[in-house]
Structure 1
Amino acid sequence: MISIKQLKYFVEIVAAGSYTRASERLYIAQSALSRQIKELENDIDVVLLRRDAKQVELTLAGRDFYDRARKILDDMDQAIVQARHIDKGERGAIRLLHSSSVPLSPPLGPCLNAVLQAFPGVTLEISQASSEHQALDVEEGRADLGLARTPILRKHPHLETITLYQEKLVVAVSLQHPLAQREVIDIAELRDELFVSMPHRERGGLSYLVAERCIAHGFFPRPARATSRKASLLSLVNANFGIAVVPDSMRAIAVAGVHFIDIREPDFQSAVVLMMRRDAPVMVGQFVQAFVQGLQMPAA
């Protein structure tokens, strides 16, 4: 079987131009060096070098093998360097999930972008998933980080949850809706409205929280005939199927036909949390630390 050592010896002989100079550079006996190359040629059943007392010459097959051997060794060197960078938290890919109710609009998107500038060796692989699915994927190692909204109903022993900030909730209505002229509203006024987002009994997140808050104020949201748990709920609002209670940050991704109304009650707020494994790699931990610190810095 071909070894990395044989490839290194072969490349060094060609670079040095002779066995004598190569053996001096490698600090090994010339006879041992010659034996390694002979074994290499026997293993692949190809003559790579023609040799005499003073110099070596590559065969046609040897020239091609030399180019490929150098590339293999260069790739291996790069792999070793990258592994060391990753071990130190300097390089690699981070798999990030976020809920549809946690858009990467300010403050999250700009902060992530700023942190990436400080970690030039790190890339983000971003996908969307519900809060509960995020928690499970991070717990089981299919993702590194999750950006979700509480509550998250299931508890996971290896999961660490960091609260990033609280965000006010607002009412989204179509411009054709009778409430479209309002700027502020009492939640009780929504008692008879149709909601395009409804909670699932086994999933937490925004719709679960909204239902909890409505119950605390004396009513349960009435479902519209068309509902959605995804970002498309704003499209349903725009089409006037019903209303939705959403985070204020969703204004940034809303279509032009949606109007937002502030809710008077102060308890209509939602926490954005970041999830990661307690034993996350060094790189992930350092990225999270910079990200959390960035969010805590006052806006310029």
Structure 2
Amino acid sequence: MELRHLKYFVAVVEEQSFTRAAEKLFIAQPPLSRQVQNLESELGIQLFERGSRPLQTTAAGHYFYKQALKILSQTEESKSMAKRVALQERTVNIGFVGSLLYGLLPRIIHLLRQQRPNIQTELVEMTASEQIQALKEGIIDVGFSRTRLSDSSIRRVLLREERLMVAVHSSHEVASMQGGVSLEQLVNESVFLYPRTNGPGYSSQVKALFTEYGLEPRHLREVREIQLALGLAAAGEGICIVPESAQMMHFRHLSYVPLLEDAAVSPIFLTMRDMDESEDIRALLDCVYQVYDLEAIRYDRVIL
């Protein structure tokens, strides 16, 4: 006995006619009659009074009809519950570079959780190149980074470009240049770069920025992470070029001065698998744009 046999039987009972039941089920009448006859043979009972007009069930048929309704109802409830459980278990694994935690990423994730409470999020810190590999291996579903890396299996969406600033001890002469400082004025400074990595990353972007303007800083030192670079700058050991959002990291005696060059920006990318059209990723991207609207940040909207 299959669920479709129960559905056929219930339809005949409720329509009181094989003809109308067949029309309701979008099947021909002869196959419907055979299925009900097969059901009667399997049960070993007669379900309908022969020759009755309109069609009536026997006492056994009426009892079986009530039980069939319960079984079909329980089946639908089980299907609905399974779907709800599946929704509750949906998890979006998100890779990110550490500096983005000091920008708008926390607000974006919080908004996603508010608007889509059925989506669980797991945040994993990793470099841009690590994100590419993790996307390919299915470890993460989406990544946020600052590095422009190309891969045929990965789609990259430019979210916005963030202005760069110089973090410097408040006693340093650069700290008094609140209108802005040029890269040329920094070539003789000790510049802390981060993160220390063998592959392309934010530190290579800063080096490329100097190169773009034909400059070669004389004292470069790579450190593990942004907090260490800022801490050393706050100690007066040198300067650090950071995204504008890093200003939320408060160190005593640390000042932030904007860079004047037009190219002094850091891009923020969202990356995903090329053919991934997940509704969850679209929801995440929509939250990005909602936060940008609230902050009056200019961007070119991308529709996935």
User: Which TM class, normalised by the smaller chain length?
Assistant: 0.5 to 0.7
Q: Which moved more, 1:259-268 or 1:289-298?
A: 289-298
Match of 2:117 in 1: 120
Query: Residue 144 of structure 1 is aligned with which of 124, 131, 141?
Result: 141
Distance 1:253 1:175, change over 3 A: same
What SS does the aligned partner of 1:297 have?
helix
Q: Please tell me whether the aligned partners of residues 101 and 206 of structure 1 are also in contact (alpha carbons under 8 angstroms).
A: no
For 2:255, give the aligned amino acid. Answer: H
Is contact 2:196–2:225 with CA below 8 Å preserved after alignment?
A: no
* Structure 1 CA distance for aligned equivalents of residues 124 and 227 of structure 2: 13
Which of the residues 172, 181, 185 maps onto 2:181?
185
Match of 1:158 in 2: 153
Conserved 8 A contact 1:227-1:233:
yes
Count of matched residue positions in the alignment of Structure 1 and Structure 2: 227
Q: Match for 1:195: what amino acid?
A: V
In 2: Cα distance, 1:110 partner to 1:285 partner: 16
2:164–2:242 Cα contact (<8 Å) kept: yes
TM-score relative to the length of structure 2: 0.64
Contact 1:99 1:131 in 2 (8 A): yes
Q: Is the 8 A contact 2:193 2:229 kept in 1?
A: yes
Secondary structure at the aligned position of 1:192 is classed as: coil
Q: Does 1:170 align with 2:165?
A: yes
Superposition deviation, residue 241 in structure 1: 2.3
Structure 1 residues without counterparts, runs of 5 or longer: 1-21, 28-73
C-alpha spacing 1:80/1:186, structure 2 compared with 1 (3 Å): closer
Instruction: Report the counterpart of residue 301 of structure 2 in structure 1.
Output: none
Moved more, 227-236 or 156-165: 227-236
Determine whether 1:197 maps to 2:171.
Answer: no
Match runs of 1:5-24 below 5 Å: none
Structure-2 separation of matches of 1:225 and 1:181: 24
Going from structure 1 to structure 2, the CA distance change for 1:239 and 1:79 (only over 3 Å counts) comes to farther
Distance change in 2, residues 1:226/1:140 (3 Å): closer
Distance 2:66 2:187 in 1: 84
2:194–2:226 Cα contact (<8 Å) kept: no
Determine whether 1:81 maps to 2:84: yes
Question: Percent sequence identity over matched residues?
Answer: 21
* Aligned partner (choices 243, 257, 260) of residue 261 of structure 1: 257
1:235 to 231, 238, 248: 231
Please report how far the alpha carbon of residue 244 of structure 1 lies from its aligned counterpart in structure 2 after TM superposition.
1.1
Which residue matches 1:274? 270
The answer as to 2:215 corresponding to 1:219 is yes
Q: Unaligned regions of 5+ residues in structure 2, if any?
A: 1-62, 69-76, 297-304
Quote how far apart the aligned CAs of 1:189 are: 0.5
Relative to 1, partners in 2 of residues 1:159 and 1:263: Cα closer, same or farther, differing over 3 Å?
A: same
Shift of 1:77: 7.8
Instruction: Note the C-alpha offset of 1:131.
Output: 1.5
Match of 1:206, as an amino acid? Y
Shift, 1:268, TM fit: 0.6
Shift in CA distance, 253/213, structure 1 to aligned 2, threshold 3 Å:
same
What per-residue deviation string (whole Å, max 9, x for no partner) do you get for residues 108-131 of structure 1? 332332232111111221121112
Q: Which has the larger radius of gyration?
A: 2
Q: Once the two structures are superposed, what CA deviation does each residue of 1:225-279 show, in whole Å capped at 9, x if it has no partner?
A: 6733444321221222221111101101242332111111111111101111124
CA distance in 1 between partners of 2:265 and 2:222 (Å)? 25
Q: In structure 1, how many angstroms separate the alpha carbons of the residues matched to 2:129 and 2:216?
A: 22
Q: Is the Cα contact below 8 Å between 1:116 and 1:123 reproduced in 2?
A: yes
SS in 2 for 1:280: coil
- Moved >6 Å (runs of 4+): 22-25, 74-77
The CA RMSD over aligned residues, in Å, is: 3.1
Q: Pick closer, same or farther for the CA change 1:226–1:112 going to 2, 3 Å.
A: closer
Name the CA shift for 1:104/1:284 in 2 (closer, same or farther; >3 Å): farther
Contact kept, 8 Å, 1:224 with 1:241, in 2: the verdict is no
Answer yes or no: is 1:101 the counterpart of 2:105: no
